[in-house]
Amino acid sequence: MTIFGCSGRVPDQARALSVGAVLVSVLLSAGARAHAGERIGAEVGGAGASNGDVQPAWSSFRGPGGRGYAVPASPPLTWSVEEGTNVLWKAPVPTHGMSSPVVWGKRVLLTGADESGRQLYCFDADTGELLWRHHVDGVPGFPPGSDPPRVLEETGLAAATVTTDGRYVAAVFATGELVGVSMEGERIWGRHLGVPRNHYGHASSLMNHEGLLFVQLDQEDDSRLLALDMTSGDPLWQVERDAISWSSPVLVDNEGRMELILTSGSAVASYDPATGALLWRVECLGGEIAPSAAYTDGVVFVAGEGSTGSAIDVGSHAAEPTILWQWDRALPDAASPLGKDGFFIVPTAFGVVTCLDAKTGRVLWEEEFDRGFSSSPVAADGRVYLIDESGSAQVFALGPEFELLGRSQTGEMVYATPAVVGDRIYVRGLTHLFCVSPTS
């Protein structure tokens, strides 16, 4: 794997474009179409709230902005699926998928897919009842009867997590099918982006902000970042990118400026979410990058197994980004690092978790667990929740010293990242969806 040298700000190698011929031909020809979802359970009460309403929400992969923490939240420290302790419900997921749950109000959303089709599911957050399923078929531009692309079993066809703004849900699959669905499961629009050309399958999750839907379409060639209208699916702008990845966007308020931060196999770059304008770019990554960026207090941390971890000071908008420190031990493979309160928590595929000081890179503690991590860590109420591939959940204090607060067993393998809302944790296992909540 190639290790790229690190540098500060570089000339713009990506540019925001108006809707050009490529995007027009690929997307505008798709059109929009109403499509009813299959209603499974009782009538869904109440449509999704508008953006202005206060709703308990975990709206994207790793929560609001993809940052990996919930505020406010106070879920249990321990639970037992076998004994039923602090487990509100357990529901089977009809179809396999590696995507993570998303929550808005009383709805839990996730995807599944196999060779026979792609589906979007909505579960009742209080009971686990499957309220509806939406069949992702008949997407304009997708050739009928096409064979799905070959992907690794570890990735599958439904690795990307959905996003919702409380009115609409957007979902994308490794087939390149992208749909917008109402909170009642009815198709609003559909687009075919073309089958993503990557050897593991498409895994980048969706993000939305102020009516825009962001799609990180990094592939072997013609990589790009797309912004579409969340309501209609119409393209608004696109940015050319230059390297493949399997990571997802992160949206942060960086010292009063909103930034959409993306990693790839060569660099970490920041874009203006409103226009796609490149704000800064640092070439400091190499190889196959799946982890997303972490951010805390004006510092971005990016890393990937086989590359080098770098902490970048991006807090001054008037100055070029500078690399504060680098880290080349115990790097993440699939799981993304967590940035919170001046700490970076870095999980690995071989079970080692490291806590680094965000400003200095000093190792504050390092702990070795029995199994490795594909699920990313989530912070809530001064704690970190981290579930290994065997389904064992570790809860430890977010602080300069390691303090184990609880350990629980989910009962099946876990690759997805949990959603944390209030006093609940929604965990997708290999075959079931679990709701962890104080039950006594």
pLDDT tens per residue across span 374-418: 999 999 999 999 999 999 999 999 999 999 999 999 999 999 999
Summarize the confidence of residues 66-92 as an average pLDDT. Answer: 94
- 16-44+56-436: what fold? Methylamine Dehydrogenase; Chain H (2.130.10)
The region, left, alpha or beta by phi > 0 then psi within -120 to 50, assigned to residue 84 is left
Give SS3 for 294.
strand
Tell me how far apart the alpha carbons of residues 97 and 83 are, in angstroms, rounded to a whole number.
26
- Residue 362 structure tokens: 């000093």
Q: Give the number of other Cβ atoms within 10 Å of residue 308's Cβ.
A: 20
- Helical (H) or strand (E) element with 260: strand 257-263
Give me the residue spans of the domains in the chain.
16-44+56-436
pLDDT tens per residue across span 239-261: 999 899 999 999 999 999 999 99
Output the pTM of the full model.
Answer: 0.89
Tell me how far apart the alpha carbons of residues 244 and 264 are, in angstroms, rounded to a whole number.
6
**Looking at the predicted structure, is the pLDDT value of residue 303 above 90?**
yes
For β-strands 69-70 and 57-58, DSSP reports them as unpaired
Q: Number of helices (H) and strands (E), helices first, in the chain? A: 1, 36
Q: What percent of the chain has pLDDT over 70?
A: 87
pLDDT of residue 66: 97
